[in-house]
Amino acid sequence: MSDQILPANPHSPGARLGSGDSGSSTWALIGFLAACYGVSAISGLITVENVKTWYPMLNKPDWTPPSAVFGPVWGVLYGMMAVAAWLVWREKDKDETAVRNALRLFWLQLVLNFAWSGLFFGMQRIDWALWDISALWLAIIATMVAFWRVKPLAGMLMIPYLLWVSFATALNFSIWKLN
């Protein structure tokens, strides 16, 4: 099981950035980027139609950003999340248990992140999405703390994500109340 969560030792000979070894740090970074941007891509497929048809018809607060803002913001946040997870993964030789637990929290928040799109846009369940994003917010805090304990920079990279999801939670709540 730990092999699925923690790829090969990033500090072993031949496992340096750019080495080309399948267990290398480069492949781990690519894997984290693929996971995060994969969630983004699939979420985009789930939301694309309803962003154009259903979402514009909802009552929204005046402080709702234009739809064009969401894609670029999420693009940056997914990249930061991936780099943060990779930085933690690289520390597995120092405290394998802490790294494993931090990455489990990372995967949990990524699943909750993915679920929100399906609930809000796919199923048009604003109420269920509010429950999900509330759980996501807690999972991000837990992930951020766990990352910080392993590699402070990784925890710091999660702060913009937490701030954006805090804003998104308030927006989700407001849309729920207005509809």
Q: What is the pLDDT of residues 86-140, one digit of tens each?
A: 999 999 989 999 999 999 999 999 999 999 999 999 999 999 999 999 999 999 9
pLDDT at 3 > cutoff 50? no
User: Which pLDDT score is estimated for 23?
Assistant: 57
Q: What is the pLDDT of residues 56-90, one digit of tens each?
A: 999 999 999 998 899 999 999 999 999 999 999 99
Residue 159 or residue 67, greater confidence: 159
CA 104, CA 143: separation in Å to the nearest integer? 9
Mean pLDDT over each residue of the chain, to the nearest integer: 89
Provide the residue ranges of all domains of the chain, joining segments of one domain with +: 2-178
The HSE-up count of residue 151 (CA atoms within 13 Å, CB side) is 21
Please report which confidence band the pLDDT of residue 21 belongs to, taking 50, 70 and 90 as the band edges: very low
Considering the domain 2-178 in this protein, what is its CATH number? 1.20.1260.100
Count Cβ neighbours within 10 Å for each residue of 124-159 and write b for 16 or more, e otherwise. Answer: eebebbbebbeebbebbbbbbebbbbbbeebbebbe
Range of weakest confidence among 6-10, 32-36, 84-88, 115-119 = 6-10
User: Which pLDDT score is estimated for 15?
Assistant: 40
Count Cβ neighbours within 10 Å for each residue of 46-65 and write b for 16 or more, e otherwise. Answer: bbeebeeeebeeeeeeeeee
User: Which pLDDT score is estimated for 67?
Assistant: 87
The percent of the chain in helix, strand and coil, each rounded to the nearest 5, is 75, 0, 25
